[in-house]
Chains A and B, each alone.
Chain A
């Protein structure tokens, strides 16, 4: 009975891994990863460069054989049925795989052919829903990064995948184009496509329904952004100090500071919860540091990421 229930649960999972591991020589890129993702989620996959994000995605796509453990994607075993996995998943890499000499339409038609989609109506639908009609006949090399990004997304979903992997899709893209891109992501998620997106930008992590944080091949946390933020130990302070670097240098060495970092034009400081504003204020002004503002702050995903990345 219990086994049956467990089996049912697994069938609802779009991604299910058991001790998924990949080694390159002595280097363990992904280390016993256990990751379950339910249908309809937008999973943010975070971690420093080299923490195993891209290796995980490549294994889940059936492009790279696991060294140990196993993974199921849409109910299919990635090692045993890699072709079936690729036919039902979409992948957009950080380096868009587009043909510069071909037009937007030609690229889309080409990828439709690769996936065996022979319906011209589907290509037109993609041009319309992604707002690509305006650049349909332009060659890709003349398009801006924002347009290329949208076209790359269209080629990744032309075959109506159940699961879409986006590997750092918005690197180097300005805020307006990033917003437009995320609107499309939401629309796809609303249609029931599960999305796994790796990103270095913590404001994007806030957009995800679930966030997994990787470090050195291991999954350190997996939860909704709000819950990850609530679980962050300590109190966050926003400190506007002058000279800012002197304040940062000093704060970093203090036992009552869990973490201190640059945040644009001010500092973010995390202390144990028993440290109050007056204590922090007095400690800094005693160092001849001018404070124009010192306010408690709400934890952000960047705080979560930096804290998890720094832990030993």
Chain B
């Protein structure tokens, strides 16, 4: 039997009338990065908070690293490092003092966290700044300190709740450069939630969440194959005319802008017919087509399709 760091079955959690998590089952093995992807309010954060024991389950069962989240909460927490969406640091304390605080909260003794904190600060690149007050750190450095705090107890499961929301591309790149090497050891798993598809692509598996459920799950490449042969890329001018003509075509389900191009999702088996018909229609309407051909589906195409399917459109 594989070593699952998360083994959760039929999790439920309601807040008043809202069924925030409505039957989530999830297994994540060591070495995996599992991405929870979905619209705002789909239940991603609630799943994370259930798994780390910050919320209690209404129903369902889960084990973290083999420990039961109802009966062995303390053992479960020892397994987990959690970087919340809005993590708090003590701005008046130095980098080192912040780490010490989080270590003590986690119940670590100085003999445990002192050597560990040195190692972690080296790892995230904050060692030269250990005596700087957290309030004086840049946004990227604060995020690294948040990660360092989440790693202080040497967790086997790292929970990252939208870690790069509102963060610039350079800082996001730096962040993932830190996360990926952690996976090399093979004894750690990461559960990350994100609204961004380029980050979802970085995961070994993705679960699309909607309305408190995981409605589709698999490796990114497998999810993209859902729409194989169904995405046409259209470029030309004028753009307004292109999209109007495309949306009128009965074989076109959606026409979405991707930069200065459009991705058209067509009905199964219709790509060639639609491409020929649409090219003619655009030219007949006085437009110019510079590109119109089938392309490999992007994860964002799949996200949109799944979101619509679930919404019953």
Q: Contact flags (1/0) for B156-177 with A, using CB distance below 8 Å?
A: 0000001001111111110011
Q: What chain A residues lie within 8 Å of B196 (beta carbons)?
A: 201
CB distance from A203 to the nearest CB of B (A): 7
A264 in contact with B198 given A174-B303, A176-B304 (CB within 8 Å): yes
Name which of A5-13, A269-277, A302-310 contacts chain B: A302-310
Asked if A106 lies at the interface with its beta carbon under 8 angstroms from chain B, I say no
Asked if B115 lies at the interface with its beta carbon under 8 angstroms from chain A, I say no
Determine whether the beta carbon of A179 is less than 8 Å from that of B181: no
Residue of A with least CB distance to B38: A174
Q: What chain B residues lie within 8 Å of A175 (beta carbons)?
A: 195, 197, 300, 303-304, 307
In the complex, A39 Cα to B57 Cα: how many Å? 55
CB distance from A149 to the nearest CB of B (A): 9
Q: Which single member of B140, B200, B201, B256 contacts A179 (CB below 8 Å)?
A: B256
In the complex, A173 Cα to B41 Cα: how many Å? 10
Q: Which single member of B140, B181, B299 contacts A245 (CB below 8 Å)?
A: B181
Q: What chain B residues lie within 8 Å of A226 (beta carbons)?
A: 260
In the complex, A226 Cα to B304 Cα: how many Å? 26
Q: What chain A residues lie within 8 Å of B220 (beta carbons)?
A: 264-265
Within 8 A of A (CB), among B139-153: 139-140
A265 in contact with B201 given A49-B168, A172-B166, A245-B180 (CB within 8 Å): yes
Determine whether the beta carbon of B166 is less than 8 Å from that of A176: no
Determine whether the beta carbon of B168 is less than 8 Å from that of A47: yes
Determine whether the beta carbon of B221 is less than 8 Å from that of A265: yes
- The SS class assigned to the B binding surface is helix
Q: Contact flags (1/0) for B237-269 with A, using CB distance below 8 Å?
A: 000000000000000000011111000000000
Chain A interface residue count, Cβ-Cβ cutoff 8 angstroms: 39
Determine whether the beta carbon of A171 is less than 8 Å from that of B165: yes
Determine whether the beta carbon of A48 is less than 8 Å from that of B39: no
Determine whether the beta carbon of B195 is less than 8 Å from that of A174: yes
Determine whether the beta carbon of A263 is less than 8 Å from that of B198: yes
Asked if B71 lies at the interface with its beta carbon under 8 angstroms from chain A, I say no
Determine whether the beta carbon of B169 is less than 8 Å from that of A200: yes
Asked if B88 lies at the interface with its beta carbon under 8 angstroms from chain A, I say no
Within 8 A of B (CB), among A163-220: 168, 171-177, 179, 182, 200-203, 206-207
State the 3 A-B residue pairs at the shortest beta-carbon distance, nearest first: A264-B201, A206-B259, A49-B139
Q: Which single member of B176, B200, B221, B299 contacts A262 (CB below 8 Å)?
A: B176
Q: Contact flags (1/0) for A40-57 with B, using CB distance below 8 Å?
A: 000000011110000000
Q: What chain A residues lie within 8 Å of B40 (beta carbons)?
A: 144-146, 172-174, 177
A305 in contact with B257 given A174-B38, A176-B304 (CB within 8 Å): no
List 25 interface pairs A-B (beta carbons < 8 Å), by A numbering.
Answer: A47-B168, A50-B139, A145-B41, A146-B40, A168-B166, A172-B40, A172-B195, A173-B195, A174-B38, A174-B39, A175-B304, A176-B39, A176-B307, A200-B166, A200-B168, A206-B260, A225-B260, A226-B260, A244-B180, A245-B180, A261-B173, A262-B176, A264-B201, A264-B220, A305-B170
Q: What chain B residues lie within 8 Å of A47 (beta carbons)?
A: 168
Asked if B202 lies at the interface with its beta carbon under 8 angstroms from chain A, I say yes
CB distance from A74 to the nearest CB of B (A): 26
